[in-house]
Amino acid sequence: MLSENEAKILFFLRDLKRATSLEIATKIGIPESSVLSLIELLREKGYVKTEIKSEKYYILTEEGRKRKESGLPEDILINTLNGQEKDLNEIKNILDEDFNIAISWARRKGLIEIKEGKVIPKVKTYTSPEYLALSNLEKADTNTINLLKKRGLIEEKERKVVNIELIKEPKEFEVGISNLNREMIVSGEWKKYKLRKYNVEAFPPYYTISKKHYFKEFLEKVKDIMISLGFKEINTGYIEMEFYNFDLLFQPQDHPAREIHDSFSVEGLGKIEDKELLNNVKEIHEKFWKYEWKQDITLRLMLRSQTTATTARLLASRPKAPQKVFTLGKVFRPDAIDATHLIEFHQLDGVVIDDNFTFRDLLGVLKEIFYRLGIKEIKFKPAYFPFTEPSVEVYGYLEKLGWVEMCGAGLLRPEILSSVGIHSMAGAWGIGIERLAMSFLNISDIRLLYSNNIEYIRDVKVKIE
Amino acid sequence: MVTIILNKYKLLDKIRIGQQKLEDLLFNLKSEVKPIDESNIEIEINADRLDLLSSDGIARAIKGLLEKELGEAKYNVIDTEYTLIVDHVRTRPYALAAVVYNAKIDLEELIQFQEKLHGTIGRKRKKVAIGIHDLRKVDTKTIEYKEVPLSYKFIPLYGNKELTISEILDKTEQGKLYGNISIANGVSPAIVQENGEVLSIPPIINSNKTKLDESTEDFFIDVTGTSFEAVAQTLDIIVSNLAEAGGTIGRVKVLKSTNSSQSSSPLLIHKIQNVREDYVKRVLGIKISEEEICKHIMRMRMNCDIENGVIRVTVPQYRVDILNEIDVVEDIAMSIGYNNLEPNKYISINYGSYDYITLVERKIRELGIGAGFVEIFNFVLIKDRKLLSNEYVKILNPITEEYNAVRDSLIPVILDFLSKNQHAKFPIRVFETGDVVIYDSSTDTGFRNDKRATYAIMDNEVSYEDIQAPIHYILKSLGLEVTYKEENNNIFIEGRSASIVYENEKMGIIGEVNPDILIKFGIEYPTVIAELCISQIAKKLHNQR
């Protein structure tokens, strides 16, 4: 099959039968070097035969270019005289440095006579054949060429000329083209050609594909599950008062989890308008934990260490039962950062407030959430959290890791519910998300959930779920 | 979670069960067992069950679950001639004492028990400190708790020469660790014999005089602290567990020097907690009779009796975690076994609902992908020096300087990301959506989360329009026909930056990053960035619904 450029050369030769590589290059508009390699391909395919000859050619010298521009000195002399006699000195002034050349060539060609210091022209005008040849060296006869050589106006050079002769007519359907265009399709002209084959088995060049982030997608999936279970999503801020992070959740002010190395503190104090709520919480703390509860501690600001703070804010709004609410967000805890620990991670907190909600109902909700997350096997372990009673930890079975603790949960303590005036039962839970995500995304280093390597992110496989 | 290390064989011998059974029973008591070596195991104890911090406490609980012993454990308690005079000690005013005779203990384990109590209820000795002495080495029947000057001398535990309290503070590890808790006004709390000899300076160190050894069977125990409740509970737990090891508890008279009121300790606090049958049923969602309820309570080593339909629970001294009726219900559930409670089938009859901002964020993420940006996900915490404004939240107690502030914009986050990816295949087109924290005086904390979307392109050559075009059409897709108003700031090149405006409100900023900023992040390639305020956009879209 013929390439587009091969075809172009053959169709050009179909009319001329023979041409040089230079002619082809000039007419078709392809560099001569490319033409030579295409001709070689055509010769191998038996379409043309080639003959390589050496050819003399001439180029103008610097003086030649100058004379071509302004004329030969003898021509200027004759045309300046315009049939009148003139003193040699006068002419010397006009012709300046060309004076000698002009006089000597004009005499040699018999165009002038010199008598008593005067130049007498024999013709009125004159254009020398050498001058005409300067503009058209290819057409010049040998004598003129020799003369120009002698006068140093041209220089002889030699080059290879490839003569190409067509020996087999091309047929149109033999021509292959790379690209279709609109005109070819509409006119039907495409039928005349063959579309060239590609090396379709070769790999393509690099291509960036945009995708959603794998871990964000997992988080969104978790949200979807909660929505499908009938829960309403809420969100609150990262900067929180100790009141919502701890006090409202029945965590005494000297509880170890409130020590300086267990949560990040932020300068400043918050404010709580609900004085009744503050007072209820103070009373309950002082009654059960037997210490002096301090308001300036409860108003201190921190980065929330649990999304249960969001649940606490919901409770503080004294919602009417029934309620099913969840939040999924970042929490912050000081820790040494390594393959299994970060200082910020996600929690899924949820709460169900309902008149007849029981501990077994809570276990049922947890079982369903984990089932939909893909954990089919779970077990329950008694646990301790300041804000729930009974409290339970959920262990899930992961193929690679075995039984893994996944969730803390329980019924909210009556002390908490009474402080916000809720008379129904309420179950709540908090699920750490990163460990689950690591398992489902098959990631062994938690830091990879937040990789800052673009190539890693680009290469991550998409999960079908 | 607290962990204790126990000799496996000694523990199994006390309760006469196999290891697997032990693990199963402890699992249902909130605890987990991990092997340490051939003969030792590590047990995780939950912070509420202080009574389980020794092998004797564990044995007591397990005997209940095995129904070898039911109800409250009965211990011998006798009166003694010992008296504790409690003087006015300003830094830790409360003190109680007890003696225990004939307790067969493992010395190492007793020290561990003491330390774990110091760490939990004692709040690292700040709230409660415990001194345990060899009773044979206590010379007088009257012991005094009072303040002594720092020049007071005694030989500290494991020492070989007398030191002043000041020297102990300076030279011993214990002194350095705990000295600042109790020393004030040039005096230290001290437990001293009648003859003035020091037995301990709480919460720092005991005297070497009454050092325990393997043969010690009779003990004098002092507990001091800042909370009377905690002091009493701690002493109750210690004597109960020593009594479980066969000891006889001896009461010590306690005299307040200030008002000469007399009492005795340990208090062995018993509390009556009524439990309603229907409450148990309502909380757990099970059918259960009063008798069964009582049986479970007894298995949890509390006494229970039913009088006129009222279930009366006697909470013994070692169960300091029982505050209320609900705590007894949890014990009933634990006795039944959580995994014997069939989870109720979850049925939902209502629809859930997304926070509106979640829906907007999702659409913006999809459009970002459509516009050819790869989604990235970075930390909320960042090094303050990378931030470009002065209005960020600084963490007062950061773990590392790398993460000592909260991001107030995603622009520095994304620049930091780009700086780490200059050798990746170009162009780099990335975006991130997420929360930043900004000041807002209208909220109760003075701060507010603000949801942003930030896009960046880094390439060998890149210009304003390369980022403006996709952002424009992302916003147009959301139905927002925005305009651009030149706005110069230090992040972008002058004349190549604009605010994105919709209905006369700023929705974000866009521009070519100033090379000064690029250099600050070590970025060597031209970069364009746009940041959108999703919170603002969501407000507009919500209003248009």
The stretch A412-427 carries a mean pLDDT of: 96
The stretch A283-294 carries a mean pLDDT of: 93
Q: How far is B483 from chain A (nearest CA, A)?
A: 27
Q: Which of A293-297, A430-434, B56-60, B253-257 has the lowest mean pLDDT?
A: B253-257
Q: Which residues of A touch B327 (CB under 8 A)?
A: 389
| CB-CB under 8 Å, A232 with B352 | yes
| CB-CB under 8 Å, B378 with A450 | yes
pLDDT score for A286: 95
pLDDT score for B103: 95
Beta-carbon-side half-sphere exposure of residue B122 (alpha carbons within 13 Å): 24
CB proximity A364 to B under 8 Å: yes
pLDDT score for B145: 96
The three-class DSSP label of residue B80 is strand
pLDDT score for B288: 95
Q: What is the phi-psi region of residue B91: left when phi exceeds 0, alpha when psi lies from -120 to 50, beta otherwise?
A: alpha
Q: How far is A163 from chain B (nearest CA, A)?
A: 47
pLDDT in tens, chain B (545 residues): 799 999 999 999 889 999 999 999 999 999 999 999 989 999 999 988 999 999 999 999 999 999 999 999 999 999 999 999 999 999 999 999 999 999 999 999 999 999 999 999 999 999 999 999 999 999 999 999 999 999 999 999 998 899 999 999 998 899 899 988 888 888 999 999 999 999 999 999 999 999 999 999 999 999 999 999 999 999 999 999 999 999 999 999 999 887 767 899 999 999 999 999 999 999 999 999 999 999 999 999 999 999 888 999 999 999 999 999 999 999 999 999 999 999 999 998 899 999 999 999 999 999 999 999 999 999 999 999 999 998 899 999 999 999 999 999 999 999 999 999 999 999 999 999 999 999 999 999 999 999 999 999 999 999 999 999 999 999 999 999 999 999 999 999 999 999 999 999 999 999 999 999 999 999 999 999 999 999 999 999 999 88
B363 to chain A: closest CA residue: A212
SS3 letters for B221-289?
EEEEECCHHHHHHHHHHHHHHHHHCCCEEEEEEEEECCCCCEEEECCCCCEEEEECHHHHHHHHCCCCC
Whether the per-residue pLDDT at A176 is higher than 80: the answer is no
Distances (CA, A) of B331 to B44, B59, B277: 18, 17, 14
The stretch A444-454 carries a mean pLDDT of: 96
Contacts of B229 (CB under 8 A, 6+ apart): A290
| CB-CB under 8 Å, A457 with B376 | yes
CB proximity A380 to B under 8 Å: yes
A334 to chain B: closest CA residue: B399
CB proximity A392 to B under 8 Å: yes
pLDDT band at A15; cut points 50, 70, 90: confident
The structure tokens listed for A107 are: 């005499």
Q: Which of B126, B378, B446 sits opposite A270 (nearest CB)?
A: B446
Q: How far is A234 from chain B (nearest CA, A)?
A: 6
Q: Which residues of B touch A240 (CB under 8 A)?
A: 445
CB proximity A238 to B under 8 Å: yes
A243-286 residue pLDDT tens: 999 999 999 998 877 887 899 999 999 999 999 999 999 999 99
Cα gap A145→A141, rounded to integer Å:
6
End-to-end Cα, chain A, rounded Å: 49
The stretch A406-427 carries a mean pLDDT of: 96
Q: How far is B29 from chain A (nearest CA, A)?
A: 6
A354-402 residue pLDDT tens: 999 999 999 999 999 999 999 999 999 999 999 999 999 999 998 888 8
pLDDT score for B467: 97
A330 to chain B: closest CA residue: B380
Whether the per-residue pLDDT at A460 is higher than 90: the answer is yes
Candidates B526, B510, B530, B521; CA nearest to B385 is B521
| CB-CB under 8 Å, B445 with A425 | no
Whether the per-residue pLDDT at A29 is higher than 90: the answer is no
The stretch A236-247 carries a mean pLDDT of: 97
- The DSSP letter of residue B67 is T
Mutate to test the interface with B, among A229, A292, A354, A360 (most CBs of B within 10 A): A360
Beta-carbon-side half-sphere exposure of residue A455 (alpha carbons within 13 Å): 8
Whether the per-residue pLDDT at A28 is higher than 90: the answer is no
Mean per-residue pLDDT of chain A: 91
Q: Which of B282, B378, B448 sits opposite A452 (nearest CB)?
A: B378
| CB-CB under 8 Å, A381 with B352 | no
CB proximity A402 to B under 8 Å: no
pLDDT score for B306: 93
Q: Which residues of A touch B275 (CB under 8 A)?
A: none
CB proximity A354 to B under 8 Å: no
What ipTM is given for this predicted complex? 0.93
| CB-CB under 8 Å, A382 with B28 | yes
Cα gap B201→B191, rounded to integer Å:
6
Mutate to test the interface with A, among B1, B30, B330 (most CBs of A within 10 A): B330
A290 to chain B: closest CA residue: B229
Mutate to test the interface with B, among A263, A389, A394 (most CBs of B within 10 A): A389
pLDDT score for A92: 84
Q: Which of B325, B357, B380 sits opposite A330 (nearest CB)?
A: B380
Whether the per-residue pLDDT at A458 is higher than 80: the answer is yes
| CB-CB under 8 Å, A303 with B339 | no
CB proximity A368 to B under 8 Å: yes
Cα gap B353→A233, rounded to integer Å:
6
Q: Which of B46, B282, B393 sits opposite A266 (nearest CB)?
A: B393
Q: How far is A334 from chain B (nearest CA, A)?
A: 6
Q: How far is A181 from chain B (nearest CA, A)?
A: 27
CB proximity A377 to B under 8 Å: no
